[in-house]
A and B are shown apart, each in its own frame.
Chain A
Amino acid sequence: MSNEKKKFNWKAVTQHHLFLPIVCLLVVLLVNVIKTPDFFVISMKGGVLYGYLVDVVNRASELVIVAIGMTLVTAASGGQDISVGAVMAVAASVCCQILSGGQVSTDTLMNSMALAIIAAIIVAGLCGAFNGFLVANLGIQPMVATLILYTAGRGIAQLVTKGQITYVRVDSFKVMGGYIGKCPIPTPIFFAIAAIILINIILKKTALGLYIESVGINGSASRLVGLNSTMIKFLTYVICGVLAGVAGIVASSRIYSADANNIGLNLEMDAILAVALGGNVLSGGKFSIMGSVIGAYTIQALTTTLYAMAVSADQLPVYKAIVVIIIVVIQSPVFRRNMEAWKQKRALRNKAMEGGH
């Protein structure tokens, strides 16, 4: 995009849509540096990169992937898909179950990896299509519609794995959540980067991005310029489902198993938070994928910080919930209006006081 950084005028910088997300990220990083001085230190240990930063970037991968899908869904339908975590679990179970050939644990691949991955992604895409159908075709509020899979999803995942945690202890499967050969960079990072690049290519090579924004901003005007808003909304949910599927596979590869109860747990909240932190309005319209990506890394950094402060995983949601509320309050038109009115009043009072003196 046209960056006016050359002129270096501060206003252009501060008004850039990525300004706030980046500031948030920097603040979190700053806190980290203060608390753990070796936060930015990256070293090589056992042939792989090692360090806090690497850990943050690595762990954020699934979130980045899911946040991309969430951004599109939010932009087009003005609502969020809260089933992404559950869909991840479904995809993970399908993938592992195919690889293990139905056994609880396996040391050799029973089916080809490609088949398992494709099947998992197709199933995840179908979950997305189900959500999309309810939202786009039946006009049900996005969060209510996705609530169905939010609860049923993990049950379905359990059903697929027959209630057990399916282990796939095969090195070629562990690659996706681990390392490729001698490459020192964790593979999930590549997945995240690939997802970012792929979605950017899609948005560049097709007009989907513009279509999504139009539909999210003004459905009726979009219809009159010839856009099929039902189809576009539906598509965003399918994309969101597919991306959740990819994230699910990565997550299951990390632990070389399909743990239906824990894969992608609470990730929907993080994803929504990432979208909001990225400067995207939760009621739809214009969106920025990069914003959400930065948001996702911010949240992972925040999570790491909180862990470092001895906050347990169970307690994390408290802080995240507070951040979400702060963001939506700031985004809320009513709040802005009140602030505006308050500012005006203050300016008026100041003026009156000056007049008095």
Chain B
Amino acid sequence: MEKKKSKKKINSSTFLLMITIALFAVMYIAGMIIFNDKGFAKPQMFMNLFISNAGLIVIGCGMTLVMITGGIDISVGSVTALVCMSAAYAMENKGMSAVAAVVISLLIGTLFGIVQGYLVTYLEIQPFIVTLAGMFFGRGLTAVISTDMIAIQNKTFLKWANYRINLPFGTYNRRGIFIPAYIYPTVIIALAVVILITIMLKFTKFGRSLYAIGGNQQSAVMMGLNVKRTKMKAYVLDGFLAGLGGFLFCLNSCAGFVEQAKGLEMDAIASAVIGGTLLSGGVGTVIGTLFGVLINGTISSLITTQGTLSSWWVRITLSALLCFFIVLQAVIAAVKRKKKKK
């Protein structure tokens, strides 16, 4: 018995994370080999993964938090659209400053978090229903602000959006001139969020409480944790991060329109699940989610680079991958249960 245990050092959640990282590596390297001629192997290509997904990384972090408690939030895509639209509207139609737009974005996200969190936590309504309503509400409200696309021309905003940070590595062009790889500030913010949330999850009472609640809510109550307040906080933080992620998304798109970020909730959920977060709660890391996002991004850039496949393949592939991981989780859980019984 004892020997078996020490041998089986890798538990199932680490196992899932390892699958994810390996999957990412395999996919990316395969892409580099197959599409080398199309520049897939360039460092900038890798950086682009972060650039185009900075918003999603942040939103995915929020999603991971609520999923750890056993909840879910499918309103994030709409919140992103609402944030982009509001920011664009505030700057372009109301003449507000870019800083004010940031504040508005964060406020919108946080408000969503507060209301949804209250309904889920204190009125004990299924998170899915609550956030489904939130999803429609947000999207509808976006249309209420404007049904037309608003392109952002605010100077400060564009300066933020186009501020390149060159990296000490890159490629040489045909003439041998060094072209450094670059990123945008959004990437730094996104990575900072990942690091901060990782620390929070690992080293604060709040972070550990989230896991405890997801593991066994009843026990968490018995052990004297304030379950309701913790869950509420998780939803508020998730809302805040959706607002922040939405703004980063906006920096990338520089526009607000109704159809924006459609299906982003799916990307976020898929990234979290692929990154090893359990739908049943209690397990998950934002590092895993980061890799989930990267896989997500790799799929879409592989398909775009390939050129002949249409864009809906991204959705289908991602859904298939999500389905695979969900089934994998269900199977692992079933095997575990069976083992426990024996």
Residues of chain A touching chain B, judged by Cβ–Cβ distance below 8 Å, are 79-80, 82, 134, 138-141, 143-145, 147-152, 154-156, 158-159, 163, 266, 269, 272, 282-283, 312, 314-322, 324-325, 328-329, 332-335
Q: Are A321 and B136 in contact (CB under 8 A)?
A: yes
- Stretch of B3-11, B17-25, B158-166, B321-329 contacting A (4+ beta carbons < 8 Å): B321-329
Per-position binary interface string of chain B over residues 112-138, scored 1 when its CB falls under 8 Å from any chain A CB and 0 otherwise: 000000010011111011101111110
21 contacts between A and B (CB under 8 A): A138-B330, A141-B279, A143-B126, A148-B323, A151-B315, A152-B319, A155-B319, A159-B310, A163-B310, A312-B143, A314-B142, A314-B143, A315-B141, A315-B144, A318-B144, A322-B133, A324-B129, A324-B136, A328-B125, A329-B123, A329-B125
Query: Which residue of A has the minimal Cβ distance to B146?
Result: A314
Q: Are A159 and B263 in contact (CB under 8 A)?
A: no
State in angstroms the CA–CA spacing of A316 and B140 once bound together: 6
Q: Given B122, B135, B147, B330, which contacts A314 in the complex, CB threshold below 8 Å? A: B147
Complex A-B, nearest 7 residue pairs according to Cβ-Cβ distance, in ascending order: A314-B143, A152-B319, A318-B140, A317-B136, A317-B140, A321-B137, A155-B312
Interface of B is mostly: helix
State in angstroms the CA–CA spacing of A282 and B124 once bound together: 13
Q: Which residues of B contact A269 (CB under 8 A)?
A: 132-133, 136
Q: Does B139 sit at the interface, judged by CB under 8 A?
A: yes
State in angstroms the CA–CA spacing of A80 and B124 once bound together: 17
Q: Which residues of A contact B135 (CB under 8 A)?
A: 321
Q: Which residues of A contact B315 (CB under 8 A)?
A: 151-152, 154-155
Q: Which residues of B contact A140 (CB under 8 A)?
A: 279, 326, 330
Q: Are B123 and A334 in contact (CB under 8 A)?
A: yes
Our count of residue pairs bridging A and B at CB distance below 8 angstroms stands at 133
Q: Are B266 and A321 in contact (CB under 8 A)?
A: no
Q: Which residues of B contact A163 (CB under 8 A)?
A: 310, 312
Task: List CB contacts (< 8 Å) of B61-97 with chain A.
Answer: 72, 74
Query: Which residue of B has the minimal Cβ distance to A138?
Result: B330
**Interface size bracket, B side:** 35 or more
State in angstroms the CA–CA spacing of A148 and B134 once bound together: 19
Q: Are B266 and A134 in contact (CB under 8 A)?
A: no
Given contacts A158-B312, A321-B140, A329-B125, 8 further A-B contacts (CB under 8 A): A80-B129, A138-B327, A144-B72, A148-B323, A151-B319, A159-B316, A318-B143, A328-B133
Query: Which residue of A has the minimal Cβ distance to B124?
Result: A334
Q: With both chains docked as a complex, state the minimum distance between the C-beta of B203 and any C-beta of chain A, in angstroms.
A: 30
State in angstroms the CA–CA spacing of A48 and B147 once bound together: 34
Q: Given B136, B147, B323, which contacts A320 in the complex, CB threshold below 8 Å? A: B136
Q: Does B320 sit at the interface, judged by CB under 8 A?
A: yes
State in angstroms the CA–CA spacing of A314 and B259 once bound together: 10
State in angstroms the CA–CA spacing of A134 and B140 once bound together: 31
Q: Are A325 and B130 in contact (CB under 8 A)?
A: yes
Q: Which residues of B contact A335 (CB under 8 A)?
A: 123
Query: Which residue of B has the minimal Cβ distance to A150?
Result: B266
Q: Does B234 sit at the interface, judged by CB under 8 A?
A: no
Q: Given A139, A148, A315, which contacts B140 in the complex, CB threshold below 8 Å? A: A315
Q: Which residues of B contact A138 (CB under 8 A)?
A: 326-327, 330-331
Known: A272-B132, A282-B129. A151 touches B318 (CB 8 A): yes
Query: Which residue of B has the minimal Cβ distance to A338?
Result: B123
Known: A269-B132, A269-B136, A317-B137. A333 touches B124 (CB 8 A): yes
Q: With both chains docked as a complex, state the minimum distance between the C-beta of B325 and any C-beta of chain A, in angstroms.
A: 10
Q: Are B310 and A321 in contact (CB under 8 A)?
A: no
Q: Does B269 sit at the interface, judged by CB under 8 A?
A: yes
State in angstroms the CA–CA spacing of A321 and B119 once bound together: 13
Q: Does B287 sit at the interface, judged by CB under 8 A?
A: no
Q: Which residues of A contact B133 (CB under 8 A)?
A: 269, 321-322, 324-325, 328
Q: With both chains docked as a complex, state the minimum distance between the C-beta of B6 and any C-beta of chain A, in angstroms.
A: 32
Q: With both chains docked as a complex, state the minimum distance between the C-beta of A286 and any C-beta of chain B, in angstroms.
A: 18
Q: Which residues of A contact B132 (CB under 8 A)?
A: 82, 143, 269, 272, 324
Q: Does B51 sit at the interface, judged by CB under 8 A?
A: no
Q: With both chains docked as a complex, state the minimum distance between the C-beta of A336 and any C-beta of chain B, in angstroms.
A: 10
Q: Given B125, B144, B316, which contacts A152 in the complex, CB threshold below 8 Å? A: B316
Q: Are B119 and A325 in contact (CB under 8 A)?
A: yes
Q: With both chains docked as a complex, state the minimum distance between the C-beta of A118 and any C-beta of chain B, in angstroms.
A: 25
Q: Which residues of B contact A152 (CB under 8 A)?
A: 315-316, 318-320, 323
State in angstroms the CA–CA spacing of A154 and B263 once bound together: 11
Q: With both chains docked as a complex, state the minimum distance between the C-beta of B212 and any C-beta of chain A, in angstroms.
A: 21
Q: Which residues of B contact A79 (CB under 8 A)?
A: 126, 128
State in angstroms the CA–CA spacing of A8 and B15 once bound together: 66
Q: Which residues of A contact B119 (CB under 8 A)?
A: 325, 328-329
Known: A140-B279, A325-B130, A328-B125. A145 touches B143 (CB 8 A): no
